[in-house]
Amino acid sequence: MIWPVFRGDETRAPILEAIERIATALRAERFGGRPIEVETDLRDVGGGDKQWEWIKKGIPLRIEIGPRDIAGQTAMLARRDRGPREKENVPFAELPRRIPELLEEMQRGLLERALAFRDAHTRAIDDRATFDAFFTPKNVEKPEIHGGFALAHFCGNPACEAEIKESLKVTIRCVPLDDVRGARDGHVKERGRCIVCGGESAQRVVFAKNY
């Protein structure tokens, strides 16, 4: 999202012209196999309001261009994954290279964070008592946030699945094809004993609770 910061009428034309030029240059760049989507917001609304509006809407990158930026041929660039006041000064000529680079960096950051969250909430569990404790709140009156993803062995018998669902409201979410990242205390692809009946199991599956 690109928008102008006007100071008096005489600065309008060069700013609008620069925005148009930059938008065109950025639309020629690609990210994630598609042309980069560039929007401009030329409404006569205060910069602070515009900023919040676009942050809330989830626009990943914001570019502001004012009179001083025209003089220096640079733009103020801000990322959604940083504080609203944290801005980077980027020369106009650098933007077509810098924008895809930042999108890539942000994408990687989001993925890393999601994987770290998943890892932190995933446990390999091999005995029923631990499994029950994992999915049972300590305070039954006022249940605290508990549980997460349990990697446990399952024999494949629908009766075992039904028993777990009945007793704990826990269901199978996924039968991983590969070793799951985060299975730090046990591997998915190893033989074991069903968490319910003790029958043979070829691999662990992912259990989680329905709330």
What angle is formed at CA 15 by the lines to CA 9 and CA 21, rounded to 5 degrees?
A: 150
Q: Does 155 bind Zn ion (CB under 5 A)?
A: yes
Q: Does 106 bind Zn ion (CB under 5 A)?
A: no
Q: Does 160 bind Zn ion (CB under 5 A)?
A: yes
Q: Does 102 bind Zn ion (CB under 5 A)?
A: no
| Residues within window 123-142 making contact with Zn ion, judged by CB under 5 A | none
Q: In terms of CB distance, is 69 or 161 closer to Zn ion?
A: 161
Distance in angstroms (rounded) separating the CA atoms of residues 138 and 51 = 44
Q: In terms of CB distance, is 72 or 199 closer to Zn ion?
A: 199
Helix (H) or strand (E) holding 174: strand 170-174
Q: Quick one: which segment of 52-60, 100-108, 123-131, 190-198 binds Zn ion (CB under 5 A)?
A: 190-198
Enter the DSSP assignment of 161.
Answer: H
CA 151 to chain CA centroid, nearest Å: 23
# residues contacting Zn ion (CB under 5 A): 7
Q: Does 205 bind Zn ion (CB under 5 A)?
A: no
The label of the residue with tokens 């020629």 reads 28
> Cα torsion for 115, 117, 123, 129, to the nearest 10°?
-150
Shortest distance, position 197 Cβ to Zn ion, whole Å: 3
Binding residue (CB under 5 A) for Zn ion from 40, 136, 157, 171:
157
In degrees and rounded to multiples of 5, residue 72 shows phi and psi of -95, -5
Q: Does 170 bind Zn ion (CB under 5 A)?
A: no
Here the tokens at position 118 are 């998943």
**Residues of the shown chain interacting with Zn ion in the complex, contacts defined by CB under 5 A:** 155, 157, 160, 194, 196-197, 199
